[in-house]
Amino acid sequence: MSARPAPEWTVPERVAQPEDLDPRLLRPTGRTDRLQVVVEHYVPGAGRCPGCGWPVGRREECPSRQVAVCLLDGRPLPVRLAHLAEVIPGARTGRESAADRDEQRRVEDGLPGLFAAPVRAPERGQP
């Protein structure tokens, strides 16, 4: 007996598209809008998300909720939603390197502020 199901029983996994997401995530949004998306797409159990109708087994599986939580926390999108990073303002994937982070910090440190910022320490593992 094989460990894999027969091909006729496998269902292709549905991939989230921009039109499947809450429209508020496709335009620049503030923290309040993102929190509202999380609340509206909260799914207590299995079934369909009440906000977008996406079939879910757990509340974490709603793509609109996942994107909103990632934007709120400043985290990269999960791998299964990484293809949406280009259409969602502020979204990013986890593929940034230390050089990208150094460049971003250099730009942010060069901005004028109220006082001189302390010198940053190098990341762990860098000389």
Indicate whether 126 belongs to any domain.
no
**Residues 4, 67 contacting (CB under 8 angstroms):** no
| pLDDT, tens only, 25-83 | 998 888 899 999 988 888 777 788 888 888 887 767 889 999 999 999 888 998 889 89
Indicate whether 9 belongs to any domain.
no
Domain that holds residue 86: 14-111
Rama region for 90: left / alpha / beta (φ>0; ψ in -120 to 50; rest): left
**Residues 66, 60 contacting (CB under 8 angstroms):** yes
Please tell me the predicted confidence (pLDDT) of residue 14.
77
Indicate whether 52 belongs to any domain.
yes
> Is the overall model pTM greater than 0.85, yes or no?
no
Indicate whether 50 belongs to any domain.
yes
Indicate whether 3 belongs to any domain.
no
CA distance 117 to 26: 34
Count: domains in the chain: 1
Please tell me the predicted confidence (pLDDT) of residue 117.
67
| pLDDT, tens only, 96-122 | 677 777 887 888 777 777 677 677 777
